[in-house]
A = this chain, B = another copy of it.
Amino acid sequence: MKKFMNKAESMVAESLEGFVSAHEALVMFGSQRKFIRRRHLVPGKVAIISGGGAGHEPLHVGFVGDGMLDAACTGHIFTSPTPDQIMAAIEETDTGAGCLLVVKNYDGDVMNFEMAAEALTGRHRIETVIVDDDVSSHWAARSSGRRGVAGTLIFEKVLGAAAESGMDLAGLKALGERIRRHVRTMGIALGGVTVPDTARTTFVLEADEMEVGVGIHGEPGVSRQKLADADTITAMLCNAILADWEMSNAGERALLLVNGFGGTPTPELYLVYNLARRTVEAKGIQVARSLVGTYVTSLDMAGLSVTLAMLDDEALHLWDAPVSTAVLHWGTNQ
């Protein structure tokens, strides 16, 4: 395990300090450095708060800013933030219109966000949207349901834009539940990851193997297969998504996201995007928006996921709305 770090236990804090320093016009630390918040809160706007374990960056902190998240709570690597962190974020960023929590569907995350929300009942109006876009965990009949993976950023962008436009808490909750039915992701890895704390590699693949259906915590997927070419892999990912999904959205338009897990070079992501776009278009789905890059990671895992989100006109409009964060940044001419 080789990493640019001093000590494993201070790695997350040092990195977040650098992040805030590099983007000081947009973001700042919240109280006692328990979370990172948008520098300029908007009074009367519903606060959008997310978070999770570290190791998925730029996810969460990279999306704090105008038109997206008001706060992101970061736990230790692959470890949920504490209820205390989440409570601090709610208390500091709720300017009166309430808070919407965007929570990836992992037991620890769900529990800690719930505990924070319950502890503040009566003092803050709080709703939660659970993100559970991972097709492979559905296959695996995971008792707690699908995991939340790369599709999370779509929830954060669309809900963030809606809050910015003045949508109230009930409207945001309803919009989140609607999006939830229409976002699906499937991932694949060419290798496991080494967690700095433990220096333990999560799973080890042979030179001719790939791990199908992985999540974003280095956990093994649902099947280990012989390494295939990009055409075969891409078709498999797209078909898994389409098979899982009731395509009740025919006629609507898709956002296609190809997301790298941290160790996959950009050109490979574009190569897979090219094939994925053809595959879904061959099924009669119009790809209206695209995003290709390294956004939701599993440390430096070599691998990627394909996400398909069927968006109606309102959600597409919100996707297109201006955003100014460290990672997603566009104006009105997108």
Q: State the A residues within 8 Å of B (CB).
A: 2-7, 11-12, 14-19, 21-23, 54-55, 57-58, 62, 190-191, 207, 210, 227, 229-231, 233, 262-275, 277, 290-292, 294, 297, 299-300, 302, 304, 322, 324, 329-331, 333
Interface centre among A6, A229, A266, A273 (most CB of B within 10 A): A266
Main secondary structure on A side of the interface with B:
mixed
- Which residue of the partner chain B has the closest CB to A188? B4
On whether the beta carbons of A299 and B265 are closer than 8 Å, the reply is: yes
Q: Assess whether A230 is in contact with B5, with CB atoms less than 8 Å apart.
A: yes
In the assembled complex, which residues on chain B have CB atoms less than 8 Å from the CB atom of A267? 11-12, 15, 54-55, 57
CA of A19 to CA of B268, assembled, Å: 10
The answer to whether B329 and A268 touch across the interface, beta carbons within 8 angstroms, is: no
A251 to B264, CA, bound (A): 40
Q: Please give the distance in Å from A331's CB to the nearest CB on chain B.
A: 4
Among B22, B270, B297, B330, point to the contact of A19 (Cβ < 8 A): B270
Give 12 new A-B contacts, CB below 8 A, not counting A2-B227, A5-B230. A2-B190, A4-B230, A4-B268, A11-B267, A12-B267, A15-B268, A15-B274, A17-B274, A19-B292, A22-B273, A329-B329, A331-B331
